[in-house]
Every structure is written in structure tokens, then in C-alpha cells.
């Protein structure tokens, strides 16, 4: 016997149309999307250790600046009387390579990721070679003026 294809009829009214409720599936997909997608805010909060001085810096701006230029910006932003500054001779050479990294250290608190469910509680020192790569996950930065360098400058 030949088999006939099942008959399909086109509903003529909304009463005949059987709707399938997929709202549960949609809610599940939205929940999974939120769980695996953590929006990265464009700003990073930067604070000088031991003070209440806090500024917001653009994440992309800091990445584009590079480590040493960001340290120079942090130095200029957070400098207080008694903190060391570049000497005139360092400006005359036109090259301060590494100078600001001898004055400042930058520690980061990292934001929540898929594997790290809460921001890190302790700040970790950022290595200059990883600056651009790590900024994506940074929650906040803490600028530390190196005391040993300040003490050396005062004794000169």
C-alpha cells in the first residue's frame, strides 16, 4: 500500500493555531548568556595607596599608553610634596625609559571571570610585560610610591 504524506492544514483563525510556549527556553538562554558574559566597564578605578585619592582612567587609554607612560601619568596625577620627580638631566636626554617604574609600583585587583567568581581580595603586582594583556580583567589599580626610592632621594 502506498503511504500518504500526513495532511497539513493551514489554520484559518487564531483559535485553530496552536502556540508552543517557549518562554522557559528563552529565559534559560538569557540566563546562560548572562552567566558566561561579563561586561567589561570602560573605566578602571585607580587609587594611590595610603590616600583617598581616586581617579577613573579609561581602560583602552591605559592599554594604548603602555606601562611606562601610564606610570608617568599616575606619578603626575598622584604626586604629593616630598615625592621624587624626574631630574632635569633625565629630561635633557629625552629618554626616561624605566625611570617611573623605579618610582612607582602598580598593583591590580582583578574582576570576576568564569573561573574566578569574585574579584581578588589582595592586589597583585602587575609585571610591565603583561600590562596590555592584563588590563582587560583589571577591576581596580593601586599606585604605590616606592618608599625606598623616596628615602634615597631625601638623603641626596
- In 79-125 the beta strands, taken as DSSP E runs, fall at 104-110, 124-125
* Second CATH level (architecture) for the domain 43-155: Roll (3.10)
The strand pairing partners of 43, in sequence order, are: 58
Please say whether the dihedral angle defined by the alpha carbons of residues 136, 141, 146 and 150, taken in this order, is positive or negative: positive
| Cα dist from 69 to 61, 97, 98, 103, 104, whole Å | 11, 9, 10, 13, 12
pLDDT tens-place string over residues 98-156 = 778 788 889 999 876 655 555 556 788 988 899 999 998 898 999 998 875 444 444 43
Is the pLDDT at 55 greater than 90? The verdict is: yes
Structural domain boundaries in the chain: 43-155
pLDDT tens-place string over residues 61-106 = 999 999 989 999 999 999 998 887 766 555 544 455 577 878 888 9
- Look at the block and give the residue holding cell 571571570: 113
Cα 52 to the chain's mean position, in Å? 20
Three-state DSSP class for residue 46: strand
Burial environment of residue 55 by CB neighbours within 10 A (0 to 12, 13 to 18, 19 or more) = middle
Amino acid at each position: 500500500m502506498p503511504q500518504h504524506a500526513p495532511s497539513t492544514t493551514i489554520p484559518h483563525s487564531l483559535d485553530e493555531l496552536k502556540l508552543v510556549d517557549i518562554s522557559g527556553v528563552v529565559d534559560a538562554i538569557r540566563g546562560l548568556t548572562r552567566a558566561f558574559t561579563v561586561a567589561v566597564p570602560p573605566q578602571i578605578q585607580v587609587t594611590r595607596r595610603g590616600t583617598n585619592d581616586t581617579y577613573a582612567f579609561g581602560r583602552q587609554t591605559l592599554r594604548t599608553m603602555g606601562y611606562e607612560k601610564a606610570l608617568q601619568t599616575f606619578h603626575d596625577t598622584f604626586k604629593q610634596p616630598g615625592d621624587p620627580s624626574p631630574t632635569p638631566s633625565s629630561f635633557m636626554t629625552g629618554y626616561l625609559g624605566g625611570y617611573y617604574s623605579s618610582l612607582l609600583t602598580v598593583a591590580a585587583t582583578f574582576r570576576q571571570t568564569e573561573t574566578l567568581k569574585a574579584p581578588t581580595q589582595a592586589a597583585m603586582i602587575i609585571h610591565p610585560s603583561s600590562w596590555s594583556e592584563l588590563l582587560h580583567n583589571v577591576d581596580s589599580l593601586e599606585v604605590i610610591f616606592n618608599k625606598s626610592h623616596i628615602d634615597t632621594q631625601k638623603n641626596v
